[in-house]
């Protein structure tokens, strides 16, 4: 049995659109199924072909294209919203939450490639109970 895999590429780029990536993927003429979505593209096929294809596509914007595996193939009737009468598909909220952080991650990856070492942040200490009691007492006195 061949090792088939479905991967999604989430595009959070200022210079590349999902449609650009789709054209690049079609150019390869590889034996895979491709679907353009609002967040990027979904590619399904043999693992080796999918990995090669997506690593080529990532070169268009290495810091703007993020890839992860997906359980369901594109357009799977079990998962597709068209057959489930709408609503967000399971997994959408995770994607939505992480999508908001992607620009920060992209900047961080850029900085890492430049060899920048971030300053260690000071750990926030929990408030001491005695200090807290003192604050309460002071507040009561001022009233």
Closest CB 19 distance from another protein, rounded Å:
21
Closest CB 76 distance from another protein, rounded Å:
8
Binding site for another protein (CB under 8 A): 3-6, 10, 47, 66-72, 76, 78-79, 90-95, 97-99, 101-102, 104-105, 107-109, 111-112, 116-118, 120-121
- Looking at the DSSP assignment, which residues form a beta bridge with residue 5? 45
Q: How far is residue 77's CA from residue 143's CA, in Å, rounded to a whole number?
A: 65
Q: How far is residue 33's CA from residue 26's CA, in Å, rounded to a whole number?
A: 10
Choose between 121 and 131: whose C-beta lies nearer to another protein: 121
Closest CB 120 distance from another protein, rounded Å:
8
Closest CB 97 distance from another protein, rounded Å:
5
Best CA proximity match to 38, nearest among 24, 19, 56: 19
Choose between 30 and 73: whose C-beta lies nearer to another protein: 73
Choose between 68 and 133: whose C-beta lies nearer to another protein: 68
- In this structure, the dihedral spanned by the alpha carbons of residues 22, 102, 8 and 82, taken in order and rounded to 10 degrees, is -90
Token pair listed for 18 = 């999902």
């Amino acid at each position: 049995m061949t090792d088939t895999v479905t991967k999604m590429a989430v595009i959070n780029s200022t210079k590349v659109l999902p449609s650009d990536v789709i054209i690049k993927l079609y150019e390869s003429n590889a034996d895979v199924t491709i679907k353009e979505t609002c967040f990027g593209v979904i590619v399904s096929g043999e693992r080796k072909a999918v990995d090669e294809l997506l690593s080529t596509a990532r070169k268009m914007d290495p810091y703007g294209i993020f890839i992860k595996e997906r359980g369901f193939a594109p357009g799977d009737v079990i998962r597709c919203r068209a057959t489930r009468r709408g609503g967000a598909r399971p997994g959408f909220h995770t994607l939505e939450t992480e999508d908001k952080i992607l620009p920060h991650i992209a900047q961080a990856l850029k900085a890492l490639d430049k060899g920048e070492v971030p300053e260690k942040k000071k750990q926030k200490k929990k408030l001491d109970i005695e200090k807290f009691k003192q604050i309460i007492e002071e507040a009561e006195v001022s009233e």
